Amino acid sequence: MSFKTNDTISLKVESYQEMFERVGKKDEGAFVPFVVAGDPDMETSLEIVKTLVDNGADALEIGFAFSDPIADGPTVQGADLRALNSDMTTDKAFEFVKKIREFTSIPIGLLVYYNLIYQRGVEQFYKEAHLNGVNAILSADLPPEEAEDAISAAKNNNIDQIFLVAQTTTIGRLEKISQVSSGFIYLVSVMGVTGARKEIKTSTVDLIKRIRKHNKLPIMVGFGISQPVHVKEVISAGAEGAIVGSAIIDIVAKNLSNKDEMLQKVAQYTKELKKATKL
């Protein structure tokens, strides 16, 4: 997959399909970390992402800071506030993604709230995402029934449109989501908001198996994944990978006064989670 950047340079980046094929050939699942762009500041945030990439991340999920992140728990809310307090904006967040593209070609997905997209103009937001090397966009508060403009803009700009599938999603709605999605299905492993949990519930494993019967796209499991055993469990159950956010952000939040220790702990944690993807 190629992107024409704002500097009119053709950039070859890995698609999600290529990424899943790459890890599959090694009998692994995908490990995808989530961070908020600009948390705690632009420079440190880029160093965190570089550390994640260097230590095994197969793709990246980047959040754009928002003042009212209704799908997120206290950990991600805190990251949003730190980013906003460091003067993060949508312009700077796109610049952040562009800087990531200077050192990696792995897939980058955005997790945003729809007001940020709507305020900028749907087509314009997706165009800028493409120009800065984004592979996919998930708007946490946008249901597929109201996503016609986003789906159209995604197709026009070579962006995968991602939707959430929850414990309460019916088979009929799952089939609808599968029809309008590309890239992968984002399975929410818990009832509630983002945040690290102690265990993966049996209902999550059952949901992975149920989704597999009605959907051909790869399945990524997020919300509540925080330990290597969680990663191993969801991949063993049939998911293609795991998205981990709050547990990484917790490391950042607890080590704000010592960046070297923060990055060292992020590196070690990343290695442990990636190792757990081995089938």
Q: What is the CATH number of the domain that holds 108?
A: 3.20.20.70
Q: Among 150, 141, 95, which residue's Cα sits nearest to residue 122? A: 150
The crossing angle, in degrees rounded to 10, of helices 228-236 and 259-275 is 30
pLDDT string in tens for the chain (279-residue length): 665 555 544 568 999 999 999 999 999 999 999 999 999 999 999 999 999 999 999 999 999 999 887 767 789 999 999 999 999 999 999 999 999 999 999 999 999 999 999 999 999 999 999 999 999 999 999 999 999 999 999 999 999 999 999 888 888 898 899 999 999 999 997 644 444 445 555 678 888 888 888 888 999 999 889 899 999 999 999 999 999 999 999 999 999 999 999 999 999 999 999 999 998
Q: Among 175, 205, 194, which residue's Cα sits nearest to residue 250? A: 194
Active site residues: 61, 72
Residues forming a β-bridge with 175: none
In a domain, 205, yes or no: yes
Name the 3-class secondary structure at 19: helix
Instruction: Please give the Cα distance from 175 to 260 (Å, whole number).
Output: 46
In a domain, 243, yes or no: yes
Number of domains in the chain: 1
In a domain, 227, yes or no: yes
In a domain, 88, yes or no: yes
In a domain, 147, yes or no: yes
Domain ranges, residue 91 = 2-274
24-30, long-range: CB within 8 Å, 24+ apart, which pairs? 24/240, 27/278, 27/279, 28/277, 28/278, 28/279, 29/231, 29/234, 29/235, 29/239, 29/240, 29/241, 29/242, 29/277, 29/279, 30/58, 30/59, 30/220, 30/240, 30/241, 30/242, 30/277
